[in-house]
Structure formats: C-alpha cells, structure tokens
Amino acid sequence: MDNLDDRDQLLREARGFFGLESKAAITTSDIALPTEYTQELRELVSEYGVCRAVMTPYPIGRGTSKPARLGTQDDFTFPIAMSAPIAEKNVKLGNASLESHKGGGLIRIPREIDEQGIIPLGQMLARYAARKFAKVEDTLGFLGDGTAPYDSIKGVCQIAVDNNKLVQLGATKTAPSDATLANLRALRQKVATPVIGSGVYYLHNTWESRLRDFNTVSAPNVYVQVGPRARATLDGYDIVWTEVMQPYITDAAASTYIAVFGDLSYWWMGEHGQPRTDFSTDVFFTTDELAIRWLEEIDFDYMAVDAAAVLKTAAA
C-alpha cells in the first residue's frame, strides 16, 4: 500500500512540476477521431538546418570544452642569407569556449490520437521536432547577441559586429530594400583572403526576386539561378537561403541583419550528446495522455574572427 501511495504522490508532484496538473491538452472537439479519412499528410514547411550543415561539429563533454583557436601569426622571413641566423616567429594560440545551453519543448496528446488519429502522428512529430531544433540552432548560430534571450550565446552576426566585420547601410537607410549590389560585394572585402575562395552568401529566400534585379544587359550573370531548386549564385559565389536572416521588404527594419558572407566551417557548433526524444505515459496518467519531450544542448563559437562579415540596415 505504501508503494502505491508513494507512486501517486510522485505522479502528483511530476504533474505539478510541469504546471499541467488540471489542464487537458486537447479534446475531440479540437481533433476528431474519424473512421474514413486518409492518412496522407503533407506540410508546407520551410527549410532550416543551415548551421548544422555548414559549421564544424564539436562534442561537448562535461562542463566547458575549449577547442583551439588560432591567433595572430608572424610571416616567414625571405630571403635568409647563407649562415645567417633564422628569425624566431610567433604563433599565438587561443581557445574557443563551448558549454551546454539547453533548449527544447514538451507536448502532450491523448492516447487515442496516437493510436487512432487521422494522421501518422509519429512521422509528423519527428519532422516537427527536426524543424524546430534546426530553427533554434540557426537563430542562435546567426543572431545570438550575447543577451539573456540567447542565454549569452554570440552568433556569427554579433561576432562580426564586435570585430569590425560589418557593412552597415548609411543613415536613414533602414529598409532592407535600400541595400545595393555594392553593399553585398563590400562584404567580401571584410573577410580574410582565404575566405574569398571558399565563402558563401547567406540570405533569406525572399531576396531571390530582388537579386535578379541586379542583372543588366551588360552584366547578365550577376545573379544566376535556373529554376527554384537550382544552385543560386551571386557573382559566382553560392547562396544559401536561411529563414532567420532579414526578409526582403520595402518598409523600415532598422538594425536588422540582411546578409552574411563567409566560410562558416571556421565556426564550431558544439553539442552535448545529441537531440533527445523522450516519452512518458505516467506524467499524465490520470488523463490517459502521452507526454513527448524534446531536448538538445548546444553552443557556438568561432575559430577565426575574420571568417565572416555581415550586412546590416541603418539604426535610424
């Protein structure tokens, strides 16, 4: 009897911890349980997952991990005369810093929806979780500004600003539509020379129509993309579309990030373990509901401050 009492008490405490003890997640008036609906489901979703695809992965162990970061380096001396002393050179090494920053979410669904619902629920939830994890990763990796909403993480754009790798539109040019081809090209002058050969533009995909306007009779191949699924280039440099950058609009959007140019393989994406999916039938036992929880622990830091530059609208 004591074991049953302990179990009930544990369940009450677990429900109270999540603040969901007396709340029902969903009812049959929200999603019916039909008998003759197809189980086909297609979602209109955006493509995310840029940071995970292009940054260099690094496993975070316990506490804080410190991968190496190359600092300033002396050039070699040339020429050196016969029997002359060889000058000593200095190569500075530093460290990036990666630690676990946790994010995720929890949903609950009635058991009947899982077992008898109109859609293949497991497939839908797997895609949902993958998209949401990727959106969080890209938001932190690109837009983290070191403040509390980003759990002190600084992403590509803020590091570029901190290290004068910034091209900002002139005063009063607060609309993204004020950006010119010259502004986008100026980003390539802000990065290290090797990045000129390996760099990529990162833009929101609403810029596709605007970039086509940069083509002229005398320069018809400034922007090239044959078909919506084809590889897009600007001045021959690949473009990667990401939903977290500033969309193309003609209204004011002061101090927002329009574009990044760089080689993001010179950035670490740290991860402790891997994204987790956990299930429980006990937390919501009294309402016969299934709890599904997703968690991941990630961080971002740079290997080189001159690996990326950013284009930003004016502050006012």
Residue 191: inside a domain, yes or no?
Answer: yes
pLDDT in tens, the chain (316 residues): 456 666 666 666 666 655 555 556 666 666 555 544 444 555 565 667 899 999 999 999 988 999 988 777 888 889 889 999 999 988 888 899 999 999 999 988 888 776 776 566 777 788 888 899 999 999 999 999 999 999 999 999 999 999 999 999 999 999 999 999 999 999 999 999 999 999 999 999 999 999 999 999 999 999 999 877 789 999 999 999 999 999 999 999 999 999 999 999 999 999 999 888 898 989 999 999 889 999 999 999 999 999 999 999 999 9
288: left (phi over 0), alpha (psi -120 to 50) or beta: left
Residues 6+ apart with CB under 8 A from 3: none
pLDDT of residue 115: 72
pLDDT in the model for residue 127: 84
pLDDT on residue 39: 47
Residue 13 lies inside a defined structural domain of this protein: no
The 3-class SS string of the chain reads CHHHHHHHHHHHHHHHHCCCCCCCCCCCCCCCCCCCCCCCCCCCCCCCCHHHHHCEEEECCCCEECCEEEEEECCCCCCCCCCCCCCCCCEEEEECCEECEEEEEEEEEEHHHHHHCCCCHHHHHHHHHHHHHHHHHHHHHHHCECCHHHCCCECHHHHHHHCCCEEECCCCCCCHHHCCHHHHHHHHHCCCHHHHHHCEEEECHHHHHHHHCCCCCCCCCCEECCCCCCCCEECCEEEEECCCCCCCCCCCCCCCEEEEEECHHHEEEEECCCCEEEEECCCCHHHCEEEEEEEEEEEEEECCCCCEEEEECCCC
Is residue 222 in a domain? yes
Q: Does 75 reside within a domain?
A: no
Residue 57: is the preceding peptide bond cis (ω within 30°)? no
Bridge partners (DSSP) of residue 294 are: 105, 277
Q: What pTM did the predictor assign?
A: 0.83
Identify the pLDDT of residue 38: 47
**Distance (Å, rounded) from C-alpha 261 to C-alpha 140?**
17
Name residue, tokens 């895609």: 127
Is residue 82, in this structure, part of any structural domain at all? no
Q: Tell me what pLDDT residue 26 has.
A: 62
Check which CATH number belongs to the domain holding 257 and give it: 3.90.1690
What is the per-residue pLDDT for 141?
98
Q: What is the pLDDT of residue 122?
A: 75
Residue 307 lies in a domain: yes
* The pLDDT of residue 48: 73
Domain tally, the chain: 1
Judge whether 71 lies within some domain. Answer: no
> So what's the pLDDT on residue 21?
56
Note down the domain range covering 54. Answer: 47-58+95-312
Q: Which of these, 259, 297, 257, 292, lies nearest to 277 by C-alpha position? A: 292
pLDDT at 316: 94
Residue 168, domain member (yes or no)? yes
